[in-house]
Structure 1
Amino acid sequence: MIPIAVECRFFVCRFLLYLCLPSLQQMTEPEKITDLFERCKPRFEAMARSYVCDPGVAEDLVMESFCIYLERSREGRIGACPNLPAYIFAIVRNQCLNWLNRRKRTLSIVRELHDDQIRQIDLEIRSLNSLDVDELFAPEIETVIRQTLEQMSDQQREIFRLFRYEGCSYKEIAARLGISTAKIEYVD
């Protein structure tokens, strides 16, 4: 079963061709082309626009189709054409098909690029989430702590070690080292 929109386009296109036919047989070739262009261009553009959905692109495709016809005619590649509007209509249709196929390829490539960018962003997010700042700067922090401890007296170093690494309270440190808690608070 043919979708209604496609069927309607088919009948509209047939009707547009029918409207283009009268009185072309009595004219010279340049007059035929000029008359055909003036009378059929809006109809061809309407047909092209119904497929490409862009008025500018539709106009370009119709102009290009007339140019293709003129080029083929000048080169002698077209014999006696009993139905010139139908011939040009076929060129317009082919131009629309070519444009739609190129557009489809372009969108497919854009989608692939977009998917690649999303994968790259996901990778960067995972990388940042797994980054441990403490691990990253641990060697530098250890160096600073070691240098600072080297500048302390033996008693200050022992107070620091007991408090920071062993978790002793001020009272416990004071009892172990035989000093007052006030001196420990001063060192810390």
Structure 2
Amino acid sequence: MRLLLFILSLFLSCTFKVETTDTEEEFDMSKLSGRWYPFLLASTYKGWEKKDFGAILYEIKVTIHYLIINFSIRERKECYTSEMIAYRVKTNTYKFNYPGRHEFHVEDIDPEDYLLISTTNQFDEMILGVQLYSRHKDGILNEMIKDRFEQICQLYGLTNEHVIDLSTTDQCFLNKK
């Protein structure tokens, strides 16, 4: 149970929700379904630097009432997968039913190209994060969405020193189905 909470904290490493616009357009969440490849991650979690633990989503399944999210997890040099359910709490915001606060917010999406989310995990400490995913394994994204990633990071106080390029650095996260 403690491991699951920790995994959740890592994944949801950033949604201390900062409203980026006064009116939010709701995305068609059914378009989230399918395989996603990690591209960039910015997080206040220090464990990424040690590379001894990490959790990244690799697939989303959309149902009427919730999302089923599959994670690729690295722990002590071992890779495995886990599945969690996220429930909608408001427009484009989902939470996991575990102790503490574990939410993610869809900041931007092009269902054929990229997914940009912010996450908040609070169990023992608040962990903030921004994650950028691509539909394409090669991780090629245009400069406009990379700039958008940087803007969202700045809103959460995350700088370049918090950013990790996952598109080429971690085979545990890239090789899942």
**TM class by smaller structure:** under 0.3
Q: Which structure dedicates a bigger proportion of its chain to helix?
A: 1
Instruction: Tell me the TM-score normalised to structure 1 length.
Output: 0.24
Q: Which structure dedicates a bigger proportion of its chain to strand?
A: 2
Instruction: Tell me the TM-score normalised to structure 2 length.
Output: 0.25
Pair member with larger Rg: 1
